[in-house]
Amino acid sequence: MHVETLSIFCEVVRHGSFSRGALASSVSQSAASQAVRQLEKQLGAQLIDRSKRPWELTAEGEIFFKGCQEIVERYHELEDAVRRRQNPAGHTVRLASIYSVGLQHLSRYIDQFRARVPGAAVDLEYMHPDQVRARVLSDQSDLGLLSFVSSGRELTAIPWKNQAMVVACTPDHRFARLATNHGGVRPHELAGERFVALDRALPARREIDKFLRRHDVEVEIAAEFDNIETIKQAVDEDAGVAILPEPTLRREVRRGTLIQARLLLPVGEPPLVRPLSIVHRRKRRLNPAVTEFIRLLRNSTADAPAEPVSRPTAVAVDAAPPASTQTPPPSDDPTAAVVGARGALL
């Protein structure tokens, strides 16, 4: 009975699918099915009840899955320990992130981590949110960075940052004048505007749509894209305006190619923000390097505030204050806090 076979079984169960489990294990669906049947033959017990749609784990399968997870995880820990023995300074944190948490932004944290843990490395990959989740659940990545995620049966989500959402427009757009003269844009002033929107399947798009509905605002969707860089380019080409996380606009604001305008909300209404979280597989034992990296992310001040759009001006009396870009100070245990009720975080 090989560890690889046990790992394939765990992936099939985690994903609730032979095809997705095979993909996570980098094998064919046929190979994944054969691996599970081989285990059942060796154990003399049925682990998966295939007569049900969707299939379910049998009682024996539940027991075996729980033990398998511990065995596979322990094997990887031993593998890591041997590698560290050969190269004591060789700690590597495998990090998967959504595209919109830019490389320039994360490189500051990575540099701090390397300075704090000499010889350490961070293996960073950018991908679609669904892929980030899959990589973390399959233990191909130690940590993931996701937005609008909460803890559940499979994932633990550690609050990281709340990024204010702002209106992005060209310097000659009327919203640029509102930002200068009135401190921002009220929701009703968005009505009828051409919008360059995030793809409907993304969580941030759903939250923006809820925000607009809450304020009885209808906009004209001019285009939809699944990544922020393309949206910024479209706004720059005057395809419309967009609502985006403030940190993602800093480069363009600095260069003067785009303007950001705050959303001015009634007193007492929570600001529109994008909550970012650090995620890892639930009940996964984190090695010291990973734990240290989480602690650094949550305590670091590497994320400096954005430069102002224009000189300071008076803000309407009913405007809400800018959203915080940093979560409250964490406890000593970096994994102690998990996302609970969403509240003002949308």
Neighbour-count burial of 42, counting CB atoms closer than 10 A to its CB (0-12 exposed, 13-18 middle, 19+ buried): exposed
Residues 124/141, Cβ–Cβ less than 8 Å: no
Query: What is the model's pLDDT at position 332?
Result: 42
Q: Determine the Cα–Cα distance for residues 20 and 12; give it in Å rounded to an integer.
A: 7
Cβ-contact 76, 139 below 8 angstroms: yes
At 15 the pLDDT is 84
Q: What pLDDT is recorded for position 303?
A: 53
Whole-number Å distance between alpha carbons of 14 and 272: 33
Q: Tell me 241's DSSP state.
A: B
**Alpha-carbon gap, residue 70 to 41, rounded angstroms:** 21
Q: What is the pLDDT of residue 148?
A: 93
**What is the rounded distance in angstroms from the CA atom of residue 219 to the CA atom of residue 189?**
10
Question: If DSSP codes are grouped into helix, strand and coil, which group holds residue 45?
Answer: coil
Q: Rounded distance, CA 186 to CA 27, Å?
A: 52
In the block, tokens 């701090």 appear at 112
pLDDT of residue 191: 97
Q: Which H or E run contains 104?
A: helix 103-116
User: Which of 287, 295, 334 lies closest to 94, judged by CA?
Assistant: 287
Q: Angle at the Cα of 257 (from 259 to 194), degrees rounded to 5?
A: 60
Enter the CATH code of domain 3-86: 1.10.10.10
Question: Domain coordinates of the chain in residue numbers?
Answer: 3-86, 92-160+276-303+328-345, 162-261
Note the CATH number of domain 162-261. Answer: 3.40.190.290
**Which pLDDT score is estimated for 331?**
43
Number of H helices, E strands in the chain: 11, 11
Spatial separation of the C-alpha atoms in residues 346 and 342, rounded to whole Å: 6
Pairing of strands 242-245, 155-169: antiparallel
Same topology for domains 92-160+276-303+328-345 and 162-261, yes or no?
Answer: yes
CATH of domain 92-160+276-303+328-345: 3.40.190.10
Task: Report the C-alpha gap between 218 and 207 in whole angstroms.
Answer: 15
Tell me which DSSP letter residue 320 carries: P
Kindly give the confidence (pLDDT) of every residue in the chain, 346 residues in length, as a single tens digit, with 9 standing for 90 and above. 688 899 899 989 988 899 988 888 888 999 999 999 999 999 999 999 999 888 999 999 999 998 998 888 888 778 777 766 655 456 789 999 998 887 777 889 999 998 888 888 899 999 889 899 988 988 889 999 999 999 988 899 999 999 999 999 999 999 999 999 999 999 999 999 999 999 998 889 999 999 999 999 999 999 999 889 999 999 999 999 999 999 999 999 999 999 999 999 999 999 999 999 999 998 888 888 899 999 999 987 655 443 333 332 333 333 333 444 444 444 444 444 433 333 333 3
